[in-house]
Amino acid sequence: MIRIDGKKVSTDLKNELKTQVGELRAKVNCVPGLTVIIVGEDPASQVYVRNKAKSCKETGMNSTVIELPAETSQDELLERIDALNNDPDVHGILVQQPLPSHIEEYAVTMAIDPSKDVDGFHPENVGQMVLGNLDKCFISCTPYGILELLKRYEIETKGKHCVVVGRSNIVGKPMANLMLQKLRETNCTVTVCHSATRNMEELTRQADILVAAIGRANFITKDMVKPGAVVIDVGINRIDDASRKSGYRLVGDVDFDEVSPISSAITPVPGGVGPMTIAMLLHNTLQSFMRAHNL
Ligand SMILES: NC(=O)C1=CN([C@@H]2O[C@H](COP(=O)(O)OP(=O)(O)OC[C@H]3O[C@@H](n4cnc5c(N)ncnc54)[C@H](OP(=O)(O)O)[C@@H]3O)[C@@H](O)[C@H]2O)C=CC1
Ligand SMILES: Nc1nc(=O)c2c([nH]1)NC[C@@H]1CN(c3ccc(C(=O)N[C@@H](CCC(=O)O)C(=O)O)cc3)C=[N+]21
Ligand SMILES: [Mg+2]
């Protein structure tokens, strides 16, 4: 069993990005800038936003975090976004999800200039991705990070059956769409499962590559996985753990202890997909910068 080390790959990637940022700075005398907006005080979101800002700085990029109170109106948020759209020092804009219920996610997605939409959530980016014009879009960071892991671990994907569990706009749908593109690290036959899927375990058991993006702790058990499968665990679930100072620990959507011995390769949580999401966000921000400067 290969334990796919997303933490290590993300560190490698960030070092590569740092070198590139340094070279570009010498050439054009400026660096990529990412602005993250967070509305409200969700503790998990605050952790991610801090991680993003820290990683940005490590690679020599500019990072700004805009913290807005939970009561911020949708109009006010849209005005903030518009100002960032028009700021030439900002190359990436990310509005952290989830948003308070009085703000419509769709309106926010539409407000972000597609050329700065480093999350890859805008329909223009989603559409280009589905069309296979991957050089004309931003690929959403979590699925992109998973592709990078499959590539760097030289996992054979051509003609394999990839089963994605989850169909959210931020993970499941883009993941499934990417896995059927004709690339070296994709080119799969794809099945997507969700809460209305019948006899799901019959489908997951056929997976050569199983991607779990459900949001339920330890949901994927041994009996749902074919021996020798590659298992990608996207889930980030907090469960109570009195032995930890924080009072909780993170587990994935896959029962790692049970499934890892029968898998051929598996991503752990933490240290798997999560750190890659952040690395790809920085990658997308650099890409935006290069496009803006015709580099
Ligand atoms: N590592 C990372 O970088 C990231 C991790 N995450 C984590 O990944 C997980 C998924 O996130 P996200 O996609 O946003 O979650 P959502 O809640 O938006 O989507 C969950 C999906 O799982 C499906 N689902 C829920 N319960 C079942 C079930 N019993 N059987 C089959 N399918 C089910 C839902 O089906 P339906 O559509 O029918 O409701 C839905 O499509 C979360 O733990 C999240 O924290 C998310 C983003 C990035
Ligand atoms: N607009 C938007 N874009 C996102 O990409 C986005 C979002 N909203 N909302 C929430 C989800 C979740 N997400 C994660 C990013 C990093 C880790 C990560 O770094 N995880 C570490 C551990 C982090 C920890 O210790 O809590 C790991 O798995 O090893 C996890 C989850 C991005 N998301
Ligand atoms: Mg969601």
Q: Hey, what domains does the chain have and what are their CATH numbers?
A: 29-114 (3.40.50.10860), 141-273 (3.40.50.720)
Q: What's the pLDDT score for residue 16?
A: 98
Whole-prediction pTM: 0.98
Q: Confirm or reject: Cβ of 274 under 6 Å from ligand 1.
A: yes
| Ion ligand 3: residues, Cβ under 5 Å | 168
Q: What's the pLDDT score for residue 108?
A: 98
If you take atom 18 of ligand 1, which residue's CA is the nearest one?
Answer: 168
Q: Which residue is it, tokens 């999560």?
A: 274
Neighbours of 26 (CB within 10 A): 8
96 is catalytic: yes
Q: Confirm or reject: Cβ of 38 under 6 Å from ligand 2.
A: no
Interface predicted TM-score (ipTM): 0.98
Give the distance, in angstroms, between the CA of residue 263 and the centroid of all CA atoms in the same chain: 23
Q: Confirm or reject: Cβ of 212 under 6 Å from ligand 1.
A: no
Which 3-state string (H, E, C) describes the chain? CEECCHHHHHHHHHHHHHHHHHHHHHHHCCCCEEEEEEECCCHHHHHHHHHHHHHHHHCCCEEEEEEECCCCCHHHHHHHHHHHHCCCCCCEEEECCCCCCCCCHHHHHHHCCHHHCCCCCCHHHHHHHHHCCHHHCCCCHHHHHHHHHHHHCCCCCCCCEEEEECCCCCCHHHHHHHHCCCCCCCCCEEEEECCCCCCHHHHHCCCCEEEECCCCCCCECHHHCCCCCEEEECCCEEEECCCCCCCEEEECCECHHHHHHHCCEECCCCCCHHHHHHHHHHHHHHHHHHHHCCC
How many angstroms separate the Cα of 37 from the Cα of each of 40, 53, 73, 218?
Answer: 10, 11, 14, 31
Give the distance, in angstroms, between the CA of residue 55 and the centroid of all CA atoms in the same chain: 15
Q: What's the pLDDT score for residue 37?
A: 98
Q: What's the pLDDT score for residue 142?
A: 98
Q: What's the pLDDT score for residue 84?
A: 99
User: Which is the closest atom of ligand 2 to the Cα of 98?
Assistant: 9
Which two tokens mark 196? 């209305």
If you take atom 45 of ligand 1, which residue's CA is the nearest one?
Answer: 236
Supply φ then ψ for residue 191, to 5 degrees: -125, 135
Q: What's the pLDDT score for residue 24?
A: 97
On the CB side of 211, CA atoms within 13 Å amount to 35
Q: What's the pLDDT score for residue 177?
A: 98
Neighbours of 71 (CB within 10 A): 10
Q: What is the mean pLDDT of each run of 10 residues along the chain (295 residues)?
A: 98 98 97 98 91 96 97 98 98 97 98 98 98 97 98 98 98 98 97 98 98 98 98 97 96 98 98 98 98 96
What is the chain's mean pLDDT, rounded? 97
Is 40 labeled as ligand-binding?
Answer: no
| Cβ(119)–Cβ(138) below 8 Å | yes
Selected catalytic residue, list 96, 97, 128, 181: 96
If you take atom 16 of ligand 2, which residue's CA is the nearest one?
Answer: 274
Q: Confirm or reject: Cβ of 168 under 6 Å from ligand 1.
A: yes
Distance between CA atoms of residues 276 and 166, nearest Å: 19
Is 167 labeled as ligand-binding?
Answer: yes
